[in-house]
Chains A and B, each alone.
Chain A
Amino acid sequence: AQSVTQPDIHITVSEGASLELRCNYSYGATPYLFWYVQSPGQGLQLLLKYFSGDTLVQGIKGFEAEFKRSQSSFNLRKPSVHWSDAAEYFCAVGAPGGGGNKLTFGTGTQLKVEL
């Protein structure tokens, strides 16, 4: 069974500082990997995804993530955080292939940005 671990429940960074949110997954092969962001009371917005190919993935809002097979990780990074980035971030894993493959989500990381 697939699983996702986000070790950091809360992270606080200063505006303008760099950010890295950790994500580790467990899956028998190379999974499909996703990062989503959720603002309070809202649905989820896709930041980026990895299916195959280049292990450094660029997403929206200046975010990027790097897939590291040896570490079973897919950490999210941003070089300079903006106050509007404060939100909940979820890493998710899905099984490759067609059909209605479901996503498994991590427990989320709450990001606070200090001005």
Chain B
Amino acid sequence: ETGVTQSPTHLIKTRGQQVTLRCSSQSGHNTVSWYQQALGQGPQFIFQYYREEENGRGNFPPRFSGLQFPNYSSELNVNALELDDSALYLCASSLGTWTVDNYGYTFGSGTRLTVV
């Protein structure tokens, strides 16, 4: 059983650019959630995808968007990067949207994004 894989592990981008982060969910999981963890903070929920559709969204602007593919992998896209977007981006997969009933998320090790 493979875990959650995220790529790349580190990334440096310039303000104003666009970035795509990728996540492969754990085998058997069909739901992917994305979190942003700024330095010294706890993770903040960005959005969740279930069966290729957005299932919930946190307090993030529209320039944060996502996709989920038929194999349940997912992408997080951020347009017009700002310095404050520098953070660790965590992906978590689960079986179904009822994450608690299915004993919660499996997290990846994240992508560290630095915006300069």
- B is bound to A: no
Interface residues in chain B, defined as those with a beta carbon under 8 Å from any beta carbon in chain A: none
